[in-house]
Each structure stands twice: as C-alpha cells, then as structure tokens.
Amino acid sequence: MSRIAPQDLVDFVYREARLLDELDYETWLDLFAEDGRYWMPAEWRQTDPLLQSSLMYEDRLLLRVRVERLSGARTFSQKPKSRAQHLLQVPQIDLFEPETGAFRTWTSFHYVETRNDVQTLYAGWATHDLVLVEGVLKIKLKRVDLLNFDAPHGNIQLFM
C-alpha cells in the first residue's frame, strides 16, 4: 500500500478490531510498528504515560508477552478463553498527511469482554497514530481512553 486514501485509515481501524474479536493476536501484533505502543491512560486528558500512572502502557515486547500469555495452552487463567466484541462508530480522521506518512484516527467504541458467565462492558475512545513503514500502515501509538477511567477495574484480559 503506497498511496493512502482516507478510507484506508477507516478500514485499518475496523480490521484491527476484527482481529481482536477473532482472537487473532499474532496478526494483530503485526499491525504495530517496531517502536509502537499501546496506552490506556488512568486520568482524563492525560498527557504523559511515563510520569503519570496509566492503566496500561506497553511497548512491543510487553505486547508480545501478553499475546503469548493469551495464546498459551498452559494459561490456566484463560480456560475458557476470554472473548470480546467491538462496536465502533465510524472512525474520524484527525490527521492525514500522506506526504510525511503521519495519520491519526479517533473512534468512539463500546467493547464487551466475556469469560464464563461474566460480561464486562467498557466504553470510550480509541486514537490510532499510524505511520507508513515500507508502504504499509502500522500503529505507532494506540491510545484507549475509557469513559470510566477512574473506576476500580478488575483484570482487563484482552485489548480494546
């Protein structure tokens, strides 16, 4: 993909959510740039993931560890496996600079995570900072802002 159109960004966000819903974590992890990050702030309009506490701030190595845990046959906390479903609004494009290879989308979502008889509903916004790596869109930063970021949360098993 060398020529990027706005619809490519929208399709990327939808594809990412589908990969997570289908538990295809390996393919999902490949969507991240080598220096990509996954960030879930713990405060409203938080600006710094390093100097302020976050619900989650993971680089590619930590994402790999989480993917291996979720995919592992001996991960007893995942028997039966957690499952998820994303319900997304149409992603809005906040930055579209094909000449520099910088793109940003903003997507409102509802996300349900279920395991056994327990269903947990999350709502919020996901921001995808995307870059072109050898002509392919990759995630530089995925930021997930939960509506109830300040509520006590149990273990969030999967990715939103």
| Lookup: tokens for 130 | 């995307």
CA distance 88 to 159: 14
Q: What is the pLDDT of residues 92-144, one digit of tens each?
A: 999 999 999 999 999 999 999 888 888 888 999 999 999 999 999 999 999 99
Among candidate residues 83, 28, 57, 19, the one with its CA nearest the CA of residue 143: 57
54 beta partners: 41
Q: Domains (ranges, CATH) in the chain?
A: 6-146 (3.10.450.50)
pLDDT tens for 6-49 read 999 999 999 999 999 999 999 999 999 999 999 999 888 899 99
